Chains A and B, each alone.
Chain A
Amino acid sequence: MSTSESDDILIRRAQENPAAFEPLYERYVAQVYAYAYYRVGNVQDAEDITARTFYQALTHLSRYTNRGVPFSAWLFRIAHNLVSNWHRDNGRRQTYPLDIVLDTPDPSASLAERAEVNEETRRLWAVIRTLPPERQQLLVLKFVDELSTEQIAVIMGRSEGAVKALLHRTLVAIRHQLTQVA
């Protein structure tokens, strides 16, 4: 990700001339895609959500002002709303294959080790998928997009303390479920 120019400069430029939106797109497309992929679990829907996120951002960019919500958080909020709609529309179709995760094991590992890692990953994500949506959102922002607690707090509209507490409760719940499964 290029950090040569701040988001504020790029946004001002894009607001004056929407054709200058591309650097913002280049900066965030991978992060938004990763977020969408880990929330819906398949490439096709992740691409669709990513595309819709950037369409909406482009359409509403002229109205965006940084009132304590950085551009990245604004983008993730758009993506989050689209993911929520996707879950609402696909509530009965719980398909989370996470193909890429399971198809890209460490090539230096033996077949047995790869199978074991795949099984652990499958078990872990099967547990994560049973968590309430906001906890899944928190885990993806934290471990997939590697955002800071401060950034996550802005995206989720909570205090940093509340995010830390939610993360703690979420890890406790996962540990509890994993021990039950084992």
Chain B
Amino acid sequence: MNNQADTQWVDLLHVAKEIRRSVQPVRPSAGFQSHLRSDLATALGAERRDLPLEVYAQRQVTPAVVLAGCLGLAAVSVALILLRGHSARQ
């Protein structure tokens, strides 16, 4: 029984070896790779031009925008504190 199982394993390893031996490395041609690289770059440019404005605006979160937001919040907070103080004095 064991011998039969061993023989089967040897056979399967042989099949695996044959498959591995039959495989030749294939590579895309340099011309194809170059064309595809160029096509992807073109697609990327087209995609950027096609972006709806609101999506484009959403992507423009720069440090300056964040700073402006923080300053705005700070100004609103100070105004609220001053208003509260003014109300308390009255």
Contacts and interface: CB of A to CB of B under 8 A. Distances in A.
A101 B21 CA distance: 11
Task: Give the one of B24, B33, B48 with max A CB within 10 A.
Answer: B24
Contacts of A54: 36, 40
A95 interface: no
A54 B41 CA distance: 11
B44 A51 contact: no
B22 A175 contact: no
A19 interface: yes
Given A101-B22, A125-B22, A58 B27 contact: no
Contact of B23 (A47, A143, A168, A172): A143
A175 B32 CA distance: 37
A120 B22 CA distance: 8
A20 B15 CA distance: 42
Interface residues of B, number: 26
Interface string B1-40: 0000000100110011011101111111000110011011
B75 interface: no
B71 interface: no
B74 interface: no
Interface in A138-154: 139, 143-144
Contacts of B16: 143, 171
A29 B28 contact: yes
Given A19-B44, A50-B36, A51-B36, A175 B28 contact: no
